[in-house]
Amino acid sequence: MTPERVGGLPTKRLEGLGGWGRFPTSDNVAVRPEKFRQLQPVGASSLARGMGRSYGDAALNSEGTLVLTERLDRLLEFDPESGVLRAEAGATLADVLAAMVPRGWFVPVTPGTKFCSLGGCLAADVHGKNHHRDGTFSAHVAAAEVVLANGERVVCSPDDGSELFWATAGGMGLTGIVSEVALRLTPIETATMRVRHTVARDLDETIGLLTDPAHDARYTVAWLDCLASGARLGRGVYMAGEHARPEELPLRIEDPLRLAPKRPKPFPFDLPGWALNPVTIRAFNAVYNWVQGRRREFLCPYEAFFYPLDGIHGWNRMYGKRGFVQYQYVLPTATARQGTKEILELLSRERKASFLAVLKRFGPEGPGFLSFPMEGLTLALDIPFSEGLERFLDGLDEIVVAHGGRVYLAKDSRMSAQTFRAGYPRLGEFLEVKAAVDPEGRFGSDLSRRLGIGR
C-alpha cells in the first residue's frame, strides 16, 4: 500500500519507472516538492531524481521515496563580472541555455542532452566533448547547497567543506539532495559552432586524430562504425568544434547570439523489438559514415553540434519496450588502445551492433571520489536487447577491469559490485564521508543497493 503522504507531501505511485534506457524498471513512490523549503529527505530511504536522463537504475529507489526536483527550477542570480549563475538544482541545462546564450554565456560542460538538471549534472559529475580541456562539471561549480539526512542545509565548495563537495560530485545522490548550484559559465560571442570533420580509416587513425595537438579543438569526439572489422576496425569520423566568432558568420545574421527556435519532433511509438538488428544498424552505420565523412568544414547551430538527439523527443522509444543498454567505459592512456581494440573486436565478432558508438579523449582525473573520468579514452555504446546480452556485457567488463578501467555509473544498469569496486579505488573515502553525513543510510537507490554502496 502506498502511503498517501510522506514527510507531509502527497505521494505519487510511479509504476514500471525506468531511466532513459528503460531498463531496468521498478515501482516507485515519489513526492514532488513545490517550494524550496519542502526539499527534504522523506521516510526511511530517499533519493533525489532530476530529469531521469541517467540510463539505468541510478535515479530509482524502489525501497524508499523519490524526491522529484523538477518544480524547483528557478534561476536565482547572475553575476556578469564572475560569470557565476546561482540556480535551483531542478533547473535544466536547457533552462540555463535559453536564458543565458542570448546574453553571451554558455554552460561550461554539457552532456549530449540539455534535458538534464543541474543537480543531476553535479551528482553524476558529467563530462562533455571538452573534458580534455575543461574537466568535468564539478570543476566549474563554485559552490553547492546540499540538504543532508538530518534536514540541515550545508553549502560546500572545493575550498570549504571540500570532503562533502567531492563526495557529492559524482556521488549519485547518495550524500544528500543538492538544492542549489553556483555554476561558472563560459563567455561566447555567437550561438554558432565552427565544425571540422575528418574521416579516419581505422582505430589508429581515429586515436591519432583524438590525441594529435595539430587536430585538437575545444570540443572533440569521434563517431565509430562499430560493425567495421578487419583492416577497417575502428574506422569513423573525427569531429572537432569551436564556438564561432562573429566575423566567421554570414553577414545576413542579425544577432549572432540568437538562433531560430526549433520544435523537437516526437518519436511517436515504440518500435517492435526486431526493428533494430545487426542488419538495420549496419545500414545506419554505413550511411552515417558516408554522410558525416562528406561534410568537412561547416557552421551549425550549437544545438545541432551538442544535442543532435534532443531534436527527436523520446528517441529512446526507438528501441522498443524492452529498452536498451548504454555501456560506457574509460581506460587509462597506457592500455586504452589495446583494450578498445579488444572490445571492438568482440562487438564485431559477436555481431552485437551498437547504434551509436562515440569515442572521446579524457584529460586528467578530477578530485571527485566516485567521478567517472580518468585520463585516457572513453567509449559509449547503445546496445539494443538481444539474446545473450548479459553474458556479452560481462565479457566487456572483464576487458575493462583487466585494462585498469571503469564503467560509468550514470549509464550502468547491470555491472556487478565486484566490477564496480575494481574500477573505483576511492570508494573507501566516499563511504567515510557518507557515514559522517548520513549515518543511518537515509539516501539510497536501486543502483546503490545493487553495487553495495549504501542501503
Ligand X SMILES: Cc1cc2nc3c(=O)[nH]c(=O)nc-3n(C[C@H](O)[C@H](O)[C@H](O)COP(=O)(O)OP(=O)(O)OC[C@H]3O[C@@H](n4cnc5c(N)ncnc54)[C@H](O)[C@@H]3O)c2cc1C
Q: Which residues of 115-154 are buried (b: 16+ CB within 10 A; e: fewer)?
A: bbbbbbbbbbbbbbbbbbebbbbbbbbbbbbbbbbeeebb
Euclidean distance between CA atoms 333 and 336, whole angstroms: 5
Instruction: Give the binding range for ligand X (CB under 6 A) out of 43-51, 98-106, 346-354, 387-395.
Output: 43-51
When asked if residue 132 is in the footprint of ligand X (CB under 6 A), the reply is no
Q: How many residues bind ligand X (CB under 6 A)?
A: 33
When asked if residue 173 is in the footprint of ligand X (CB under 6 A), the reply is yes
Give the cell for residue 60: 530509482
When asked if residue 59 is in the footprint of ligand X (CB under 6 A), the reply is yes
User: Which of residues 32, 53, 197, 450 is near ligand X by CB under 6 A?
Assistant: 53
What is each CA distance from 396 to 202, 223, 327, 403, 422, in whole angstroms?
Answer: 21, 19, 9, 11, 14
50 or 320: CB nearest ligand X = 50
Hey, CA dihedral for 203, 206, 211, 212, is it positive or negative?
A: positive
- Distinct helix (H) and strand (E) counts, the chain: 12, 22
Instruction: Give the binding range for ligand X (CB under 6 A) out of 115-123, 362-370, 421-429, 431-439.
Output: 115-123
Instruction: Give the binding range for ligand X (CB under 6 A) out of 44-52, 242-250, 289-297, 431-439.
Output: 44-52
When asked if residue 101 is in the footprint of ligand X (CB under 6 A), the reply is no
Backbone angles phi, psi at 307, to 5 degrees: -130, 55
When asked if residue 353 is in the footprint of ligand X (CB under 6 A), the reply is no
Give Cβ neighbours of residue 216 (< 8 Å, ≥ 6 apart). 132, 240
Residues 181-210 that bind ligand X (CB under 6 A): none
232 or 321: CB nearest ligand X = 321
Q: Between the CA atoms of 111, 114, 116 and 117, what dihedral angle is there, to the nearest 10 degrees? A: 110
89 or 222: CB nearest ligand X = 89
User: Which of residues 32, 127, 243, 352 is near ligand X by CB under 6 A?
Assistant: 127
Euclidean distance between CA atoms 306 and 212, whole angstroms: 22
80 or 314: CB nearest ligand X = 314
> Which x/- pattern over 260-299 shows residues binding ligand X (rule: CB under 6 A)?
----------------------------------------
When asked if residue 410 is in the footprint of ligand X (CB under 6 A), the reply is yes
Contact 8, 67 (CB under 8 A): no
User: Which of residues 11, 28, 117, 378 is near ligand X by CB under 6 A?
Assistant: 117
> Which x/- pattern over 419-448 shows residues binding ligand X (rule: CB under 6 A)?
--------------------------x---
Element (H, E) at 427: helix 427-437
User: Which of residues 18, 56, 83, 111 is near ligand X by CB under 6 A?
Assistant: 111
326 or 348: CB nearest ligand X = 326
Give me the residue label for grid cell 524550496: 36
When asked if residue 50 is in the footprint of ligand X (CB under 6 A), the reply is yes
Planar angle of CA 120, 123, 126, nearest 5 degrees:
75
* Gyration radius (Cα) of the chain, Å: 21
Element (H, E) at 143: strand 141-147
Give Cβ neighbours of residue 369 (< 8 Å, ≥ 6 apart). 166, 167, 170, 171, 424, 426, 427, 429, 430, 433
180 or 342: CB nearest ligand X = 180
When asked if residue 58 is in the footprint of ligand X (CB under 6 A), the reply is yes
**Residue 218's closest CA among 159, 143, 277, 302?**
302
66 or 393: CB nearest ligand X = 66
Instruction: Give the binding range for ligand X (CB under 6 A) out of 118-126, 265-273, 289-297, 424-432.
Output: 118-126
**Residue 127's closest CA among 430, 348, 409, 423?**
409
When asked if residue 221 is in the footprint of ligand X (CB under 6 A), the reply is no
Nearest distance in Å: CB 310, ligand X: 7
DSSP-derived pairing of the beta strands 357-362 and 265-266: unpaired
When asked if residue 93 is in the footprint of ligand X (CB under 6 A), the reply is no
Nearest distance in Å: CB 235, ligand X: 22
User: Which of residues 309, 334, 435, 436 is near ligand X by CB under 6 A?
Assistant: 309
- Tell me the three state secondary structure of residue 344: helix
When asked if residue 156 is in the footprint of ligand X (CB under 6 A), the reply is no
Residues lying near ligand X in the complex (CB under 6 A) are found at 20, 47-54, 58-59, 69, 89, 111-113, 116-117, 119-121, 123-124, 126-128, 172-173, 177-178, 309, 410, 445
